[in-house]
Structure 1
Amino acid sequence: MKRSKKLMGLTAVIMGVVMATAACGSSGGAAETKAADSAASTEAATEAAGGDTSAAGDLNSKTVDELTEAAKAEGEVVSVGMPDEWADWASLWKTMSDTYGISHNDTDMSSSEELQMFATEGEKGTKDIGDVGYGFAGQAVSEDLVQGYKTSYWDSVPDWAKGEDGKWMVAYTGVTTFLVNTDQVDKVPTSWQDIKDGDYKVALGPLTGGNAQAAFIASAYAFGGDMNNLDPAFEFWTELAKEGRINTLDITQANFESGEISVGVVWSFTGIPYSKNISQYKMQAVVPSDGCLQNGYASVINKYAPHPNAAALTRETMFSDEGQTYLALAGAIPTREDFTIADEYKDQVISKDDIANAVLISDADAYSAACETAKTRWEEEVAPLLVQ
């Protein structure tokens, strides 16, 4: 497991996150012209999709070239839970714009909210692709909310990181990280035991989200538990709740920037970019020495995506060498087993040695069950103790 001094060095050299967004062209002219343009665009997308206006058909049956042409015809991809600052998605969206002319917009939300939106909108879906916690992958499939795309990199992705027919795929993992405002905290905690023994007020986000569920389960490992025994975590967080030491704010960059969170539990792929992006305070990202999960988020393509080919091309780009490099430079660990970071970046990314002692979550069903238990028991045992 990576220790704090190493991570301090890492955060000092990691490249800044590219915060570029694709500009959307404005339309002009009479209503007839707009209608004609819209009709032409729809016709082109329909032809590229094989004449099927209701869906893209089987995405896995297309070559990458066919998929690319269809995606260009669609011209847009709409995501949920994939904001620029998370795992440097900004670079992904810039690539989609610069390389393929595909515009993008995102609505940030939790994993459960993403799947709820897919379910609520149904056949009238307005969103194409989301990024959900590993524990939500099974739900996405069991509720028939997603469609598959395996990517051309399928064989180099380990079995634990992909669902049948590509209905979900994990492009990256991260490790449990404390993000600390050192202007507000005198002694930076380097372990869960430090937090327990100190007087820190800690934010982990709502337990309906993948980040908080992972943070909670990580704390169980710190105090002798595991996914099948969460009691040590409940004892820890119940004690913090009774002492008024749980910060109920979400772990967004804005809440760190405002100074309202002094210690938060996040993933390395958010903690490291946040530490680079926040200029109001001095921030330090630390991997805890006694309870650290290595876990990923799964990309899911809405079954009723309005731009399914663009969504599939987005996933294809995530797994490309370029996409895996973006993720590594943002503090994530790329999933592809055949991917090697370029020599020029090797001293700027988390290495395998750094995470040697992290607990890799590789059983999606078991993890999903643990997350559900954490969420349910939190509402019953911890939430009533919180001072809002």
Structure 2
Amino acid sequence: MKSQPRPTLHDVAAQAGVSIATVSRVLNGGARIRPETAQRVQEVVRALGFRPNRMGRDLRRGQSRAVGVLLPTLANPVFADSVSGIQEAAREAGWTVLITSSDYDPAQERAAMEGLLAERVAGLIVTVADAERSPTLDALDEAGQPYVLFHNESPFPERASVAVDNEAAGADAARALIAQGHRRLAMVAGRFLASDRSRRRHRGFMQAVAEAGLPAPALIEADFNAEEAAALGDVFTASGRPTGLFCSNDLLALRTIAGLRALGLAVPGDVSVIGMDGINVGQLISPSLASIVQPAREMGRRAFLHLLARLAEASPPAQIRLSHRYRPGQSLAAATPRSDHAMLRRTMLTLTGALAASTAISRRAFAQETAICYNCPPEWADWAGQLKAFQQKTGIFVPADDKNSGQAMAAALAERAHPVADAMYLGGQVGIQAKQDGLTQPYKPAGFDQVPAGQKDPDGYWFAIHSGTLGFFVNKAALGGKPVPQSWADLLKPDYSGMIGYLDPSSAAVGYVGAVAVNLAMGGSYTDFTPAITYFKKLQANQPIVPKQTAYARVLSGEIPILLDYDFDAYRAKYTDKAPVEFVIPREGSVSFPYVMTLLKGAPHLANGKKLLDFTLSDEGQALWAKAYLRPARPVALPPEIEARFLPASDYARARPVDLAALAAAQKGFAARYLAEVS
């Protein structure tokens, strides 16, 4: 018989009529809590018999603010990257992370999982050997223990997961080899018994090869012991040996390249090799490793955020699929001509039409014509999708770049005499600074005239490609039954005490944009911020939470039910992370804040850099930004299914574009007043 469920922090908050954050502050002795509020919370705590755990932290399900992570290995860098994403999101939300591994042994999974549960973790993020037939997952389901799979894909919708499409990734690896003229292929795969990811990648690889009308590839399942090295030799010393090889992960690919060299075979001269994962070390070796890249860090971050939403009972289980992309490398080159060249030529002629329609990796992409763009991170604003579409359309490869605006500026300044990059993507007013520093040159793509004034430099030194609108990012499940606020005035009501958050406007860009939004809505101007200062003074009565850094995870967890933030964060939470979220543009008005593109002075690939800027402002590029929940800079027609995810145009009519020059000029003065009069 199951024991009576323990009361949760959410139960206390709901019965006391306050937010989860307020309960947390009462239990932890937080400051600025009204005595009557604290007394009401304590009375509910006693009535329900709620007890924080032995770590003294508010819990979900009577457990600690810690999550457990179960991995197949700690040796593969792709899992280290994933853990980095989990830890980054956990730190932001104030959680800790415990990690263990199964050493690719299904028999050890259950024991490793039990070890984590013994530490009273609130939930688990796990990668198992086989998500379709897993005693470990069955045990977690039976116990009602919250978890999210990552890297694994599950056929069961009740099992939450974050992963790439491994079959499609395997198929793209095959197409990359085929597009370079390889017709005898093979795959080195991790043991299928230990990795369903390996099995799925093999399935996709085989399907793409079959669709191309080529012979079935050889398969080597590898543990990399002496016997497997011998098996590699058996395949690659036989007549008719493969010329193209796909390895189910990059670590296998690196070891396989070493094994091929031991057999006297050159990569890529005799055998081309492509891996899967996109680990950074693959770019440091010679030859550099071609790979199908999965966004491991983002996968970890998404898995943690979804688990947090599940723990807060704010989201049903979702199966989140992230995009993979091809990364060229020197290990994959054109097939060496052989005696059966005529047959190869016939095969390639047959493949030409099929490949053009079926693969995102066109032959032009392998020509390695490039452009360099600073601050184009693959998981921000779906730059991965934008760059993939650009490559497919033009054949120009643009490597993803994880700099932020400040780092991009610093690099461009350091490289001023010998520029490396062709373009930069920057937050709003940083584009103005780049022009003032003499880093950029003018360029006006098609559609430039349709970008609103104030969102572009008149001479074309920078121009907006999309924008975010400032409003209320609301977790409806964390409001305790209260209505979703609709106006700036609503936030001043005592009903929302302890529920409101905004980033520090003296240091955080989005916090400052929020201050500009409320100031203009209350009748202020870029030269008079008195209305905003007055508003923030009044808001202090509702005990706002003022983080220094992004608070996305804290909204999903319910800790901050209402956050002043951009619409694209709210839409991502609603449609990607499946959280019970609503976005509101306040009735009194708000602002939209642009992100801009610039063309660098002395760009080494000038023509290609211009083509990239053309694409970002084209109809196709603008539609792709909209899919990432950013408002296009141009008035382009969007597909109905995309348009339906945004608030109605009548709501967006309440948001005026910021004047970037005026915004930048006023920032220091406002920050000084806020620190002196409000903070």
TM-score of the two chains, using structure 1 as the length reference = 0.69
CA distance in 2 between counterparts of 1:214 and 1:190 reads: 19
Residues 85, 137 of structure 1: CA spacing in aligned structure 2 closer, same or farther, 3 A cutoff?
Answer: same
Q: How far apart, CA to CA, are the structure 2 residues paired with 1:26 and 1:222?
A: 52
Displacement of 1:171: 1.8
Q: Matched residue pairs, number?
A: 325
Residue 157 of structure 1 contacts residue 335 of structure 1 at CA under 8 Å; is this kept in 2?
A: yes
Q: Match for residue 188 of structure 2?
A: none
- Letter of the 2:534 counterpart: E
Do residues 147 (structure 1) and 446 (structure 2) align? no
The aligned residue for residue 74 of structure 2 is: none
Identify which of 567, 572, 575 aligns with 1:276: 575
The question of 1:91 aligning with 2:385 is answered yes
Aligned to 1:63: none
SS at match of 2:434: helix
Aligned-pair CA distance for 1:220: 1.2
Pairing 1:65-80 to 2, within 5 Å after superposition: 74-80=369-375
Correspondences of 1:220-259 after superposition (within 5 Å): 220-240=519-539, 244-251=543-550, 253=552, 256=555
Cross-structure match for 2:255: none
**Quick one: structure 1 residues 240 and 306, their matched pair in 2 at CA, closer, same or farther if it must change by over 3 Å?**
farther
Query: Which residue of the partner structure matches residue 426 of structure 2?
Result: 132
Q: Is the 8 A contact 2:455 2:657 kept in 1?
A: no
By relative contact order (CA 8 Å, sep 6+), the higher-ranking structure is 1
Amino acid aligned to 1:377: R
**Which of 612, 635, 638 is residue 341 of structure 1 equivalent to?**
638
Q: In structure 1, the residue corresponding to 2:327 is in which secondary structure?
A: coil
Corresponding letter in the other structure for 2:574: S
Q: What is the CA distance between 1:206 and its match in structure 2?
A: 6.1
Displacement after TM superposition at 1:326 (Å): 2.0
Which whole-Å CA distance do the structure 2 matches of 1:126 and 1:253 have between them? Answer: 34
Q: Paired residue for 1:105?
A: 400
Q: C-alpha separation between the residues in 2 aligned to 1:216 and 1:114?
A: 26
5+ residue gaps, structure 1: 1-15, 34-68
Q: Deviations over 1:311-342 (max 9, x none)?
A: 433321111111111233444332325x3334
Partners of 2:320 and 2:514 in 1: how far apart? 24
| 1:191 and 2:487 aligned | yes
In structure 1, the partner of 2:587 is 289
Q: Identity of counterpart residues, as a percentage?
A: 25
| Pair 1:103–1:380, CA change in 2 (3 A) | same
Matched, 1:360 2:665: no
Residue 292 of structure 1: how far off its partner (Å)? 0.9
Q: CA deviation at 1:356?
A: 2.3
Match for 1:298 among 579, 582, 596?
596
**Distance across 2 between alignment mates of 1:274 and 1:157:** 28
SS in 2 for 1:301: strand
Counterpart-to-counterpart distance in 2, 1:129 and 1:377: 36
Report the alpha carbon displacement of residue 248 of structure 1 after superposing the two structures with TM.
1.3
Q: How big is the alpha-carbon RMSD for the aligned residues of Structure 1 and Structure 2?
A: 3.7
1:326 aligns with 2:624: yes
Is the Cα contact below 8 Å between 1:86 and 1:270 reproduced in 2? no
Aligned residue for 2:60?
none
1:229-287: CA deviation from partner (whole Å, max 9, x where unpaired): 211212333455687523314226455556664432222233312332224x4222222
Call closer, same or farther: CA 1:367–1:352 in 2, change over 3 Å: same
The one-letter code sitting in structure 2 at the alignment partner of 1:218 is A
1:227, 1:370 within 8 Å by CA — same for their partners in 2?
yes
Shift in CA distance, 319/287, structure 1 to aligned 2, threshold 3 Å: same
Structure 1 residues 284, 129: closer, same or farther in 2, change over 3 A? farther
SS in 1 for 2:417: helix
Alpha-carbon spacing, 1:230–1:300, altered in 2? closer, same or farther (3 Å): same
What does 1:137-176 correspond to in 2, within 5 Å? 137-176=431-470
| Aligned 8 A contact 1:23 1:103 in 2 | no
TM-score (norm 2): 0.42
Return the alpha-carbon distance in structure 2 between the equivalents of residues 282 and 174 of structure 1.
20
Distance 1:120 1:326, change over 3 A: same
Question: Aligned-pair distance for 1:145?
Answer: 2.3
Alignment-mate amino acid for residue 170 of structure 1: A
Distance across 2 between alignment mates of 1:310 and 1:262:
45
Quote the residue 2:15 is aligned against: none
Question: Taking structure 1 as reference, are residues 378 and 336 closer, same or farther at Cα in structure 2, changes over 3 Å only?
Answer: same
Deviation at 1:291, TM superposition (A): 3.4
Alignment deviations for residues 73-105 of structure 1 (CA, whole Å, 9 cap, x no partner)? 54253431x444544434312213433351422
> Larger C-alpha radius of gyration, 1 or 2?
2
Structure 2: 5+ residue stretches without partners: 1-318, 334-363
